[in-house]
Structure 1
Amino acid sequence: MYKREVTRRRFLATTTALTTVAIAAPYVRGAHAAGKLSIGLWDHWVPGANTTSTAVVNEWAAKEKVDVSIDYIPSQGNKNLLTIAAEAQAKSGHDMLAMPTWWPHAQADLLEPCNDIMPQLIAQNGQVNGTVQYLGKLGDKWLGVPATIGSQIKGPCTRIDLLKQHAGIDIQALYPAGAAPKADSWTMETYAKAAEACHKGGVPFGIGLGETTDSVDTAGAFFQAFGAALVDAKGELTVKSDAVRQALDYCARVAKFYPADAPAWDDGSNNRWLVSGRGALIMNPPSAWAVAKRDAPQIAAQCWTHGFPAGPKGRFAPFLPYFWNIWSFSQNKPAAKSLLVALSQPAAVEKFVAASAGYDIPSFEKLTTLKTWAEEGPPKGTLYHYPNPHNHQTLSIAASPAPPKIAQQIYTQATLTKMIVRHMQGEPMERTLAWAESEVEGFLRG
């Protein structure tokens, strides 16, 4: 973690002023919010992205005459999660802190409600997707504001040439740049046949079956495409349902065409698989493509990011949002809320997306068609469908719709991928289901 003090100096004339909107007014004291504010943001992996965040915050601070300090907190080694836990225990720390996915619910009792911000932001920027509501609200309480920085979809990134050569699928025709998908034929069975064909061709789909998030997120999207959940929204155990049996049977069958060491993969394995040129498809945000653009441009030029295959219950894609949250023990809640409004303005969001080369995704529906995704390349338009601009798939998170505190345990313990591996390796279906049911019963009791 490193700390960068934000001063009130003037920025260069080329810095574009943020749009001032009426909804910021209730959270300033007179003409200015004033005082001091300490914030913790996610330490972005994209070079230059933190600089852009600092510039946007600094511009707001200069206007509102607030002394702001920023800590950029990395997710490597779970330093961001350790920071959240430490500040919650001490009831002291930053006024505002970025929290990923499950953590606003985990700290819900210590978070300042953002009900006075979110309705106006939604009116301005459009509705947020269901996963943001699932993770960002507790009852009627908004636990924070969905952050652009760090939010991502883990969709398919496909080698155009290899999928066409080995499976006869023109992925660009199914997902044309600048136009709505024509992907009715991109189904679970099409995916399974393509996985088998690419495996036979020596370029298997690089799908992990390990216990880290990339593997769990992918398994979750496949289960949801079959309507399969281990626990329903009411907290009832549903492991031994027909939908779970169908999802498990499908995932175990297709997993035989993944790399032999897929059960041991971590979150870096699929990235390396793509950049090495050994695979025809992975599930990942554009970070793997960005590395390929730098280290293996001939591979990057053949990559296309697009939607998930559709199952019996629809087309789902893993969406992992970050949130900006204000602690209930914050010393300057008015300034923190004023800053959250400023960070959620379209002009600010556009800067964040451009600085991350399209990696970051805003959660508001009106902000998913920015020019960055249409223009990034090579090949040009490779990220056009990444932010789901045509709403052709449901953005979800593994283990939902179980109550978040239960779903977090299913997710963290990688129950879904463990089920797939056990059944793929020959364990009878009913024995695998019995094991999973026992595991989840423990989560429910806890």
Structure 2
Amino acid sequence: MALTLRGLAGTMHRRHLAPGSSLLDRWRAQVKSRKGGSSDMATAHARYDLRADGLTRRRFLQTSAGGLAGLAGIVALQVPPSLAQQREVSMLSWAHFVPQADQKLHEIGARFEKATKIKIRFDHLQEAQMAAKLAAEVQTGTGHDLLMLRMHLPLLHATNLADMSDVVETLTKQYGPLYEFCEEAAYYKDHWVAMPAYHGAFPGSYNKKYFDEVGEKPPDTWEDLVRAGKKMKAKGHPVGIPISQTNDAVSTLGPIMWAFGAKAVDKDGKTVTINSEETSEAIEYVKRLYNEAMEPEVLSWDDASNNRFLISGKGSWIANPQSHYLTAKTRNMPITQDIYFQLMPAGPKGRHTTTFIRSMGIWKFSKNIEPAKEFIKFFLNQEQYNDYVNAAQAFDAPVFKSMEDHPVWKIDPKYEPIKESGRYGHLYGWPAPGDERSQQVTNNFIIPIMFAKAIGGTSNKEAMAWAEAEIKRIYST
């Protein structure tokens, strides 16, 4: 095939690559279309404006000093110049508490490099370090290309993230719709700013032996939990829900509020709705659960307290991911056989649960936006995605509704009930948009403090008025 330098320059211009195909496929398609001399290379070149990317013909010729022989070699191999030059994508991710998950991510990166000749480098940070690192990269306009972002972080950085709507569209056409909570994390105004990657459930967990001893089944409703909890507390095995300034308190009290129809801020992101009859009903319920089924220690718990509470043999029911169970299992603790899981209980206004989601975003200032998108699609390819989800041992579940019955739930029969959690999941602050103000309400623990005040003797009306004033102060700035 005769391919002129001018024609080759035209094929290199990314703006004219067809959407929805990989870089490699698009290059091959262009080369193939020119075989047989059916295309006028000079005319083709005229359609590509090299200057739009700041690349003049003279500069192109200078930077192509390797000569036509080198370019012809690339064309003969049908490999895009960007790939032939071994481009590198850098990805910033969290340090996963399941080491096998990070190991599998690196393996998938090696597969990607082998398939595309694009190298990918992974850097991992502890979760507490991520916010400062992201802020620094925004300030300097340099850093990583690809980011694994927790919860609402895509929305907090939305104006600095590349549009990911094309990636979401490609993958949802392939696998079907995402769970609704994905929009809460990564959809900004009229477009996606990140591709939801996986989510973690926040189920109920209980000691089946203690429930059996009092003739109760795992609670399907919050009222069921009060009835059963009262019986088990009398036998020395209370229920444990933190009512303290800790993340697990937010993760548990939020679903209770939602189950009673209560919300802190309306979906318009403006109207503060915490001071309501629905909130008062939720407070009354928690006061009853505390007095009849729990003990005062929950008022000073941290995020590890409920784990210790259940695997120590004292507790009968908590809300928590699988970490306590895996700890007991790893240590070969006899109590492992008694620990089971269930969906979060339902209330008068339905069943709701907190969901933890991570999404993959790309900085707008990245010079590798297209290769980074290619890695996201490669990672979410069925084979790679299955490998990763399985390696994460059910902590990271698929974000596509069609994958609810994923094989990962069968690695341990006790995980089976958790698989439906995605249907009922929300992020902190729902239904309000997850902007900086909403996150401030969460991070200031306003909801747990409100419940703690009411349990401590403050009237519901006063506790709600305090929370309302605090939230209005945040939303007025």
Give the TM interval when normalised to the shorter protein: 0.7 to 0.9
Structure 1 counterpart of 2:156, from 96, 103, 106: 106
Q: What is the DSSP-based 3-state SS (H/G/I as helix, E as strand, rest coil) of the residue aligned with 1:116?
A: helix
Q: 2:24 touches 2:116 (CA, 8 Å); kept in 1?
A: no
- 2-structure distance, mates of 1:333, 1:28: 17
1:394 aligns with 2:421: no
Structure 2 counterpart of 1:137, from 173, 183, 187: 187
- 2-structure distance, mates of 1:371, 1:430: 48
1:86-113 deviation per Cα after TM superposition (whole angstroms, max 9, x unaligned): 2222221110111101211111110001
Aligned partner of 2:119 in structure 1 is 67
The alpha carbon displacement at 1:293 in A equals 0.5
The alpha carbon displacement at 1:198 in A equals 2.1
- 1-structure distance, mates of 2:368, 2:471: 41
The alpha carbon displacement at 1:62 in A equals 1.7
Aligned partner of 1:4 in structure 2 is none
- 2-structure distance, mates of 1:241, 1:26: 54
Aligned partner of 2:97 in structure 1 is 45
Q: 1:156 touches 1:306 (CA, 8 Å); kept in 2?
A: yes
Structure 2 counterpart of 1:308, from 317, 325, 344: 344
1:204 aligns with 2:206: no
Quick one: structure 1 residues 142 and 360, their matched pair in 2 at CA, closer, same or farther if it must change by over 3 Å? same
Structure 1 counterpart of 2:211, from 163, 170, 173: 163
Percent identical among aligned pairs is 25
The alpha carbon displacement at 1:336 in A equals 0.5
Aligned partner of 2:281 in structure 1 is 246
The alpha carbon displacement at 1:320 in A equals 0.9
Structure 2 counterparts to residues 2-401 of structure 1, below 5 A: 23-25=20-22, 30=27, 31=79, 34=83, 35-75=87-127, 78-148=128-198, 151-166=199-214, 168-171=215-218, 186-234=220-268, 235-256=270-291, 257-376=293-412, 381-388=413-420, 393-401=423-431
1:48-104 deviation per Cα after TM superposition (whole angstroms, max 9, x unaligned): 2211110011101221111221112222xx012222222222221110111101211
Letter in 2 for 1:121: L
Q: 1:252 touches 1:421 (CA, 8 Å); kept in 2?
A: no
List runs of 5+ in structure 1 lacking aligned partners. 1-21, 172-184
More helix by share: 2
The alpha carbon displacement at 1:156 in A equals 0.5
Bigger mean CA offset, 421-430 vs 26-35: 26-35
1:410 aligns with 2:441: yes
Letter in 2 for 1:403: P
Return the TM-score normalized by structure 2.
Answer: 0.80
Q: What is the DSSP-based 3-state SS (H/G/I as helix, E as strand, rest coil) of the residue aligned with 1:45?
A: coil
Q: 1:221 touches 1:397 (CA, 8 Å); kept in 2?
A: no
Aligned partner of 1:175 in structure 2 is none
The alpha carbon displacement at 1:26 in A equals 5.7
Bigger mean CA offset, 319-328 vs 296-305: 296-305
The alpha carbon displacement at 1:307 in A equals 0.5
Aligned partner of 2:46 in structure 1 is none
Q: What is the DSSP-based 3-state SS (H/G/I as helix, E as strand, rest coil) of the residue aligned with 1:384?
A: helix
- 2-structure distance, mates of 1:374, 1:29: 39
Q: What is the DSSP-based 3-state SS (H/G/I as helix, E as strand, rest coil) of the residue aligned with 2:417?
A: coil
- 2-structure distance, mates of 1:46, 1:343: 18
- 2-structure distance, mates of 1:116, 1:108: 16
Letter in 2 for 1:61: E
Q: 1:28 touches 1:335 (CA, 8 Å); kept in 2?
A: no
- 2-structure distance, mates of 1:239, 1:289: 35
Identify the structure with bigger relative contact order (alpha carbons < 8 Å, sequence gap 6+). Answer: 1
Letter in 1 for 2:454: H
Aligned partner of 1:428 in structure 2 is 459
Quick one: structure 1 residues 24 and 72, their matched pair in 2 at CA, closer, same or farther if it must change by over 3 Å? farther
Aligned partner of 1:16 in structure 2 is none
Q: What is the DSSP-based 3-state SS (H/G/I as helix, E as strand, rest coil) of the residue aligned with 2:330?
A: helix
Letter in 2 for 1:40: L
Aligned partner of 2:475 in structure 1 is 444
Structure number with larger C-alpha Rg: 2
Q: What is the DSSP-based 3-state SS (H/G/I as helix, E as strand, rest coil) of the residue aligned with 1:38?
A: strand
List runs of 5+ in structure 2 lacking aligned partners. 1-18, 28-78
- 1-structure distance, mates of 2:138, 2:419: 33
Aligned partner of 2:51 in structure 1 is none
- 1-structure distance, mates of 2:432, 2:297: 30
